[in-house]
Amino acid sequence: VVPATARLPRSFYSRPTLEVAESLLGRTLYRETEEGLVAGRLVEVEAYCGTEDPASHAYRRLTPRNAIMFGPAGYLYVYFTYGMHHCANIVTFEEGTAGAVLLRAVEPVEGLDLMAARRGLSDLRLLAKGPGRLCQAYGLTRQNNGSDLVTGDLWVGEQRVQRGPVLTSMRVGVKPELDKPWRFFEDSPFTSHRKASVNLLA
DNA sequence: GACACGATGGGCT
DNA sequence: GCCCATCGTGTCT
């Protein structure tokens, strides 16, 4: 059952990246297409802080791939990696700062059959655990790069449901010397890399 | 043009 | 936990 909740306005995303990342946790990510509706509660995200963050794709300069991150907040940045996976981010902060929040995992809520069909498996815990799996479950590819979360077929609802405290850790897959404790997650069977859950901000 | 390298995930030990 | 497929992208020549 999809809760009757309005989508988040652009002003939600037009804030400092770490604030947006923390406050996205527990909110529901929706996508409605011809295939149907899928929804999942965000349980894991990571903040990437543009030209101030050597782990960000936007660290060096604006390029054709990362251009969307330099624009206004509330748009989707999707990139392709390892020859087979997509990762989706929500652009944050003010135009020109290139902040983004990587969507790493959701707890599936609605459209489980559609997610399972797109993923080619039915294990609930594996539908959207990890950024590549999340993109596959939502059907997101480079074609969705630049999608507007304020008006488009992908959006985040205002309602927030938290099943536990917001934990933080170093980010996943980032060289330690470049990293910051900018991963925000909930201890959940739907969160990836639970063993790497060192809370360095506590 | 050439080349090195992933903000990963599935399979196997 | 370890291995590695696979290809778009950025950077350098």
Q: What is the pLDDT of residues A127-166, one digit of tens each?
A: 999 999 999 999 999 999 999 999 999 999 999 999 999 9
CA distances from A202 to A47, A105, A197, A199 (A): 18, 22, 12, 6
**3-state secondary structure (DSSP) of residue A155:** strand
CA distances from A145 to A49, A65, A77 (A): 19, 9, 5
Indicate if CB(A54) is under 7 A from strand C: no
Nucleotides of B under 7 A from a protein CB: 6-10
User: Mean pLDDT over all residues of chain A?
Assistant: 94
The one-letter amino acid code at A84 reads M
User: How many angstroms separate the CA of A199 from the C1' of B11?
Assistant: 30
Give me Rg for the CA atoms of chain A: 15
Residue A193: the pLDDT is: 78
Q: Which of residues 126-185 of A touch strand C (CB under 7 A)?
A: 142
Within chain A, residue ranges assigned H as helices are: 10-13, 17-24, 112-119, 131-138
What number is the average pLDDT over the span A96-108? 97
Residue A2: the pLDDT is: 57
Query: For residues A158 and A8, is the Cβ–Cβ distance under 8 A?
Result: yes
Q: Which two tokens stand for residue A55?
A: 């782990």
Query: For residues A186 and A166, is the Cβ–Cβ distance under 8 A?
Result: yes
User: How many angstroms separate the CA of A11 from the C1' of B3?
Assistant: 42
The one-letter amino acid code at A130 reads G
A5-41 per-position pLDDT tens digit: 799 999 999 999 999 999 999 999 999 999 999 999 9
Nearest nucleotide (C1') to alpha carbon of A59: C10
Residue at minimal CA–C1' distance from C4? Answer: A82
Residue A1: the pLDDT is: 52
Q: Which of residues 178-197 of A touch strand C (CB under 7 A)?
A: 195
Phi, psi of A99 (to 5 degrees): -75, 155
| pTM (2 d.p.) | 0.95
Whole-number percent of chain A with pLDDT over 70: 94
CA distances from A195 to A1, A42, A151 (A): 32, 19, 37
User: How many angstroms separate the CA of A53 from the C1' of C13?
Assistant: 28
Query: For residues A31 and A141, is the Cβ–Cβ distance under 8 A?
Result: no
- Per-residue pLDDT band for A201 (boundaries 50, 70, 90) equals very low
Report long-range pairs for A171-179 (Cβ below 8 Å, ≥24 apart): A171/A46, A171/A55, A172/A46, A172/A104, A172/A196, A174/A55, A175/A55, A178/A54, A178/A55, A179/A55
- Per-residue pLDDT band for A202 (boundaries 50, 70, 90) equals very low
